[in-house]
Copies of this chain bind each other. A is one copy, B any other.
């Protein structure tokens, strides 16, 4: 009888371990899938940045410029298709989980202090997970000290 109980307990323990492992494995596979997407998309974001800088500079060759602008639209659509979504910035309250403040300007009265007023570099997320924070300029309550001198 004693032996039987011990065997039963050992079996129950193994079954519990198995169940736990199963749950953990499902979660780990999910995060492996996300990790794969993340590793693939991260190096491509600076490519889009460079393309945008080229477009901002403008061109005297209208036809060529239009072709490159079409490529840019396709790039944005492809990133969305791959599951990446731009981080909301201008007009939103500064959120340290999504935004990286690279500068501050005094609020001009039209926006509340702590509001994002400019986007310096686009941020990207996949679902709730941040791929890269947005670099932003934030409105502050007080004028910078050196403006009072």
Contacts and interface: CB of A to CB of B under 8 A. Distances in A.
A54 B64 CA distance: 7
A105 B145 CA distance: 75
Interface string A28-65: 11101111111111111011001101100111110111
**Interface bin, chain A:** 35 or more
Nearest to A40: B40
A74 to B, nearest CB: 5
B78 A46 contact: yes
The copy count of this chain in the complex is 2
A31 to B, nearest CB: 9
Nearest to A69: B54
A34 to B, nearest CB: 6
Contact of A7 (B4, B46, B81, B83): B4
Interface of A: 3-4, 7-8, 10-11, 14-15, 17-18, 21-22, 25, 28-30, 32-44, 46-47, 50-51, 53-54, 57-61, 63-65, 67-68, 70-71, 74-75, 77-79, 81-84
Closest A-B pairs by Cβ, 8 of them? A36-B36, A59-B64, A40-B40, A54-B67, A61-B61, A43-B78, A43-B81, A7-B7
